[in-house]
Amino acid sequence: MIEGNLRLVLSVVQKFSGRGESLDDLFQVGCIGLMKAVDNFDPTLDVKFSTYGVPMIVGEIRRFLRDNNTVRVSRSVRDVAYRAMQAREELEKALGREPTLEETSKKVGLPRRTVTLALESIVEPVSLYEPVYSDGGDTLYVMDQVSDSGGEESWISGLQFRDTVHALGTREKKIMELRYLAGKTQMEVAKEVGISQAQVSRLEKNAMKQIKNQLQ
């Protein structure tokens, strides 16, 4: 199983090639993830090994990158985080759902705040432009799920708003109002308007294009 899936490790490692780490080191770490996947894989389930193995390999590489990040986290904090992650996995299997932070903290035997800080300390920073998912050709990025607090689009505010969006349709106006006056995320807007986040993203981008063309 291990020898037959080394190409799987290689394909995962290629995705991390731009991080300045030795590809040989990443390959070795990926092989550890592969071995863990082989140890825990249940061949009786109707699931391809690659479907199970890739997340395990990716997780092992990400843990390696976090441990070798320039922002150092103390060993004790990392130990708490790893214990919490292990407890969360065990609870998820037992409960059949994602456990709450309270349940995880109780299983670890530590205060909720301690567990929360430990988990947050090892989270790998992501780019605002990292894609979250794609729905029908509309790619959603991390920045699309973050509330606006006055970035490059802060000119859409106050008394300017009505004049700025007067040429837009009713739904587009509502979306722009919620996004740039109320400062809501696309997810929140989608829930309030009653459409998908992908649709909100598409309508917002079209509205921005219209507004910028109008101001030029």
Residue with tokens 């699931």: 47
- Mean pLDDT along residues 34-45: 86
Condensed to tens digits (0 to 9), the pLDDT of residues 42-55 reads 888 777 888 888 88
Q: How far is CA 132 from its chain centroid? A: 6
Per the structure, the count of domains in the chain is 2
Condensed to tens digits (0 to 9), the pLDDT of residues 96-109 reads 888 888 898 899 99
Q: 0.75 exceeded by the pTM?
A: no
- Are 75 and 44 within one domain? yes
Strands (E), the chain: 131-135, 138-141
- Are 77 and 152 within one domain? no
Last-in-domain residue among 121, 145, 164 = 121
In a domain? residue 23? yes
pLDDT interval class at 149 (50, 70, 90)? very low
Altogether, the residues listed in the chain come to a count of 216
Q: How far is CA 69 from its chain centroid? A: 18
Domain that holds residue 198: 131-215
Q: Are 105 and 91 in contact (CB under 8 A)?
A: no
- Are 116 and 141 within one domain? no
| Of 98, 201, 207, residue with least CA distance to 145 | 201
Angle between helices 170-180 and 197-215 (to 10 degrees): 90
**pLDDT computed for residue 214 by the predictor:** 64
Q: Tell me the three state secondary structure of residue 136.
A: coil
- Are 9 and 34 within one domain? yes
- Sign of the torsion formed by the C-alpha atoms of 164, 169, 170 and 175: negative
- Are 187 and 155 within one domain? yes
**pLDDT computed for residue 35 by the predictor:** 93
In a domain? residue 126? no
Q: Are 184 and 147 in contact (CB under 8 A)?
A: yes
Mean pLDDT of the chain: 76
Condensed to tens digits (0 to 9), the pLDDT of residues 102-131 reads 898 899 999 988 888 777 766 555 544 455
Condensed to tens digits (0 to 9), the pLDDT of residues 50-89 reads 888 888 898 888 888 876 654 555 677 778 888 888 888 8
| Of 204, 180, 170, 211, residue with least CA distance to 190 | 204
